[in-house]
Amino acid sequence: MTRRLTDCTDLPRDVQRPGYDRAAHGIGILHLGLGAFHRAHQAVYTDDALAAEGGDWRIRGANLRSRELPEALNAQNGLYTVVERSGQERARVIGAHGAAIGGDPAAVLRAACDPAIRILSLTVSEKAYGIDRAAMDLDESHAAVAADLARPDAPAGVLGIVTAALRTRRAAGTAPFTALCCDNLPENGALLRAGVLGMARRRDPDLERWIAENVAFPATMVDRITPAVTDRTLEDAAALTGHRDLAAVETEPFSQWVIEDHFPQGRPAWEAGGAELVGDVRAHEAMKLRMLNGSHSLLAYAGQMLDLTYVRDTVDDPDLEPLIRRHMQAAAATLPKAAGIEPDGYARALMARFANPAIAHETLQIATDGTEKVPLRWLAPAADLLRQGGDVRAFQFAVAVWLAWLSDLAQRGEAPNDPRGAALQDLARQAGDDDAALLRGVMGLPGLMPAGLAGDEGFADGVIDRLGAIRRNGLRAVMRQELAA
């Protein structure tokens, strides 16, 4: 039987391994959210930074709930394989991780209070935070937020843990960590800051003031297409490295990380791995969120309706491909003009990445959590376009496809994989084929609709027309009509 990956002594020559002595570098980062994306992205940059410049910047990873991945990593001394897929497969073993924590929020809080931790980074997904974006404050109806407000000394949610750790550090005279949000949220640094300040304010206004004055929340744009790990990922990692690896991930060759360079307690030399350290991330982040993630969500729902399993199939579909490009163009029209922002070239590069034949990225994976993603990816840019008097048809089409998909699911008695999945299913069931009622119901969910779009009947009419047409004539016919228009 193949030996488990626990050291780098007998790896094949062509497998890249940590270019530094792991034991010589202490832990400096606590990372919440040990998902595939973190392992394929920030950890790789950190590995490069350690090799180039050293420092005590290894990572202690944590999952608040699940133990499986932390246990797999711990059984491998923190080592795991990144399989990069394009025409050719390449494997690289990452050494940046130390002992990980799984399913133990109290241990995560203790780790966050450790003075050695100078950066606390997060990839916990949009839904884990509980931030009211319109009010830039806590969302007290979010389950983890409500639980942490009730028991602030035993927090189990993201904002509760970050706030409680900062409180303890302040009391102990320990410098605060820099809090680094790496989720696909607009102005993610400011958003995390608003959530943490909201949590602190409800407990102790002095703490809120101290955090506001002393804690840095740099914003980031993160990008690397990382499909969910499958058995095939693990088999390929084993074939390439000669070792069994239960924490392996697969990803594309492309990777981008743009970081606002504001780290009062220092940071790894992430630029060694190609990260761009800049003064202002906003233009990059809007481009990525609206063009990549926005078109991703469109092709995910359309792909699901058309039985296209993988992203690569959707850009190979002659009717859908031009609509994906149209969506990118519409999103591009909402972007600020800024240095380094070239939407046309970016769109071309995205289409090539989506077409990567070696990457099996499931449309169903991207279709999850629509109520979290749609407002950021489609509704905010649509509201911007309306304000500018721009053409919002691409967004009306996207919303209609999402609603049609929700309606189809409800007819089959299924709920979408979404924190508000049950509510969506109920709404779709009750609306039946009353398209206006379905749109009203879904857009009436708290926090979904941005102010600029809420009262716009023209926008709603365009969605309802398309939804009706999809029901009557099928999505494919409507796609062709969109193209002809």
Residue 303 beta carbon to ligand CS2: minimum distance, rounded to whole angstroms: 12
Residue 318 beta carbon to ligand CS2: minimum distance, rounded to whole angstroms: 23
User: Phi/psi zone of residue 307: left (φ > 0), alpha (ψ -120 to 50 degrees), beta?
Assistant: left
Q: Is 88 exposed, middle or buried (0-12, 13-18, 19+ CB in 10 A)?
A: exposed
User: Phi/psi zone of residue 125: left (φ > 0), alpha (ψ -120 to 50 degrees), beta?
Assistant: left
Q: How far apart are CA 125 and CA 308, in angstroms?
A: 25
**Closer residue to ligand CS2 in complex, CB, 225/320:** 225
**Closer residue to ligand CS2 in complex, CB, 74/356:** 356
**Closer residue to ligand CS2 in complex, CB, 124/431:** 124
In the beta sheet, which residues pair with residue 29?
59, 119
Residue 269 beta carbon to ligand CS2: minimum distance, rounded to whole angstroms: 22
Residue 254 beta carbon to ligand CS2: minimum distance, rounded to whole angstroms: 9
Q: How far apart are CA 469 and CA 472, in angstroms?
A: 5
Beta carbons within 10 angstroms of residue 425's beta carbon? 18
**Closer residue to ligand CS2 in complex, CB, 329/368:** 368
**Closer residue to ligand CS2 in complex, CB, 77/365:** 365
Which residue shows structure tokens 């509201």?
383
Residue 106 beta carbon to ligand CS2: minimum distance, rounded to whole angstroms: 30
Q: How far apart are CA 336 and CA 241, in angstroms?
A: 45
Residue 301 beta carbon to ligand CS2: minimum distance, rounded to whole angstroms: 11
Residue 425 beta carbon to ligand CS2: minimum distance, rounded to whole angstroms: 20
Beta carbons within 10 angstroms of residue 310's beta carbon? 20
**Closer residue to ligand CS2 in complex, CB, 215/323:** 323
User: Phi/psi zone of residue 304: left (φ > 0), alpha (ψ -120 to 50 degrees), beta?
Assistant: alpha
**Closer residue to ligand CS2 in complex, CB, 101/359:** 359
DSSP 384-403: HHHHTT---HHHHHHHHHHH
**Closer residue to ligand CS2 in complex, CB, 46/184:** 184
Residue 304 beta carbon to ligand CS2: minimum distance, rounded to whole angstroms: 13
Q: Which residue has the CB atom at the shortest distance from ligand CS2? A: 296
As given in the structure block, the two tokens for residue 35 are 């998902």
Residues binding ligand CS2 (CB under 6 A): 184, 223-225, 293, 296, 365-366, 373
Q: Give CA torsion, residues 427, 428, 429, 433, to 10 deg.
A: 130
